[in-house]
Structure 1
C-alpha cells in the first residue's frame, strides 16, 4: 500500500521553489519542521493564497505542484498506492482530485496531529518510522469501520494491467482484458482514482521515462531521449518532450538543470515525488 517512505532533513539551503511532479501515487507528508506551503503556480505558493499545512495529502494530478523550500526543513514523505486510499485514508483517491493539496487532519482526523507531534519528539529515524508504521497498520486493521467500501475488482485489475504494461497498453486492450466497455471502464476508473485510464497510463509512462532520464544524469551518461522514448512506449521523441512540458513545466534538459542538486543527492531514487 505504501510504495515508498522517505525521511528528509536539510538545513542551510537557499530558499527556493520545488516542483512536486505528478506521479501515479498519492502523496502524504508529515512535516517535522513547520507548515509546508504549496500552490498550483509559483505566485500562489509564495503568496497569501498558498495552502499551508503541517500534514500534506495530495491526490493524483496532471501538472506540477509548487512547494516552498525554506532554509531548513524536515519530514517524512510517503508515496501511497491510489487503490490503497480507501484502506489508509478512508476515502477513494477520486475524493482528492478537486484539490492539489488537502490538510492531513481533514483526511486522517485528529489522531494524525497526535502522531505528528510524537514524530517531532522522537530522536531517531528508526523510531519515527516505527511509530508511523504502527499508525498505518492500525489504520489498515480498522478500515472496515470506515464506510468507504472496497475497490471494484475490475478497477484493481485495470490498474495492475496498466502497471504491467508500464502505461504503454491501449484502452481497447485494457477494456477487453477486464471485460468492460471502454466507456464503462473509464467511468468506474475515474470514480475510483480521479483519472481516466488514459491519463493514468500517461503518468505511468512518464514515470518510467523520468526515471530513465534521472539514471542517465546520475551516471553522467549522455541523454539519448529518442532511445528513452522508444523504450518507454512513446510514439516518438517529441511526445516524450510534450509530456515533460505538461508534467514538469520544462523540457527534459530544462528540468534536469533545475533538479541537478536533488538528483546528485539521490532525491529521485525511489521514483516517488
Structure 2
C-alpha cells in the first residue's frame, strides 16, 4: 500500500499572529516504518499528537537523550532531530515566533534553546486540555479553532525591544544577501552588543539566524515535487555555490540535500495533498 498524507494548514486568529506563524495538521498512514529529519528553522516548534506519541530517538540538543512525547515544545536550534515512525503519524504542529515564546510560555526563546520539553512544562494544564479536545474532534478547522481559543486564553502580551525585533526580522527574513555587520549598523549597535543581546533572547547567534534562514529557504525549494537543479536552489537560497549549500546541509541536516531528497518521503506527499483550511 502506498503511503497517504492527509492534512491542512491554517492561520491563527489575527490577535495571535504576532506570536504564531501558523498551524499544520497532519495524518500520515500506510508508510513503511522509518525515520525522518526534524529540520532547524526560524520558528519554535510545538507538536500535539492526536494518537500515539512522537518518538524522537535523537534530540536537537547534543546533550539530551531521545524520548517519546504526547506533546512537546522546542526552541531554535542549529541541529537536526531524528523522528522515528511506524508508518503512522497524526497530530498538529504549531509554529511560534520568538515573541510568542515570551507571550505564551513566559520566557525568551533562549530559555528553551535546542532542548525538547514536555508542553505541560511551559503551557501548564492548558496543554492537557488542548490535547484532549483536539483528540475528540474530526476536522482540521475545528481543531484550529480550539487552538485559537486556548492560546488566546493563555497569551500575555509583553514589552518587546524594537531594535532587537528589527534585527530578528532582517536576519531571519527573506533577503539572502543580509549581513550581520550591516544590521548592527542599521540599528545603531556594535556587532558585539548585537551578538550578546540577540543570543540572550533567541538562543542562537545572529550569524546562525542567517544560516538557518538560508537553510530554510533551500529546504522549502527542495520540497517542491519537481526538484530544481541544486545549483539553482543554492543561488536562490543565498549560498555562494552548490558546494557551500552541501556543507551547510551536512551541518544543519546531517546529510547533503541530494541524500535527504532520496530518503525523505513524508514532505512531498504532504505538500502535494495538503489542503488549506481554517484561519
Say whether the fold is shared (TM-score over 0.5): yes
TM-score when normalising by structure 1 = 0.85
What corresponds to 1:90 in structure 2?
Answer: 106
Moved over 6 A (4+): 267-270
Q: 1:75 aligns with which of 91, 96, 99?
A: 91
The equivalent of 2:75 in structure 1 is: 59
Task: Give 1:213's match in structure 2, choosing from 204, 208, 222.
Answer: 222
Q: Retained in 1: the 8 A contact 2:38–2:80?
A: yes
For residue 150 of structure 1, give the secondary structure of its aligned residue in structure 2: coil
CA 1:41–1:86 in 2, change beyond 3 Å: closer, same or farther? closer
Q: Which residue of 2 aligns with 1:263?
A: 268
Aligned to 2:255: 250
The residue aligned with 1:16 is 34
Report deviation, 1:41: 6.3
Secondary structure, aligned partner of 1:180? coil
Structure 1: tracts of 5 or more residues without a match: none
Whole-angstrom distance in 2 between the partners of 1:60 and 1:228: 24
Displacement of 1:260 in angstroms is 4.0
- Check the 8 A contact 2:173/2:213 in 1, yes or no: no
Partner of 1:160: 169
Secondary structure in structure 2 of the residue aligned to 1:116: helix
C-alpha separation between the residues in 1 aligned to 2:87 and 2:114? 30
Could you tell me which runs of 5 or more consecutive residues in structure 2 were left unpaired when the two chains were aligned. Answer: 1-18
Per mean C-alpha deviation after superposition, the further-off stretch among 78-87 and 198-207 is: 78-87
> Structure 1 residues 102 and 261 mapped into 2: Cα distance closer, same or farther (>3 Å)?
closer
Q: CA RMSD in A?
A: 2.3
Distance verdict in 2 for CA 1:267–1:33, change over 3 Å: farther
User: Of Structure 1 and Structure 2, which has the larger fraction of its residues in strand?
Assistant: 2
Rate the CA distance shift 1:41–1:163 in 2: closer, same or farther, 3 A.
closer
Higher relative contact order (CA 8 A, sep 6+): 2
Question: Residue 234 and residue 268 in structure 1: after superposition, are their counterparts in 2 closer, same or farther (change >3 A)?
Answer: farther
Which residue number corresponds to residue 229 of structure 1? 234
Task: Compare the two structures and name the one with the higher helix fraction.
Answer: 1
- Following superposition, the deviation at residue 206 of structure 1 comes to 1.0
Residues 23, 204 of structure 1: 8 Å contact kept = yes
Deviation at 1:158, TM superposition (A): 0.2
Report the Cα offset of residue 209 of structure 1: 1.6
Query: In 2, are the aligned partners of 1:31 and 1:116 still within 8 Å (CA)?
Result: yes
Query: Does structure 2 retain, via aligned residues, the 8 Å contact 1:17–1:69?
Result: yes
Aligned pair partner of 2:159 in 145, 150, 153: 150
Residues in 1 aligned to 2:80 and 2:266: alpha-carbon distance in whole angstroms: 18
8 Å contact 1:5–1:77 — kept in the other structure? yes
Rate the CA distance shift 1:98–1:206 in 2: closer, same or farther, 3 A. Answer: closer
Q: Which sits farther off after the overlay, 104-113 or 90-99?
A: 90-99
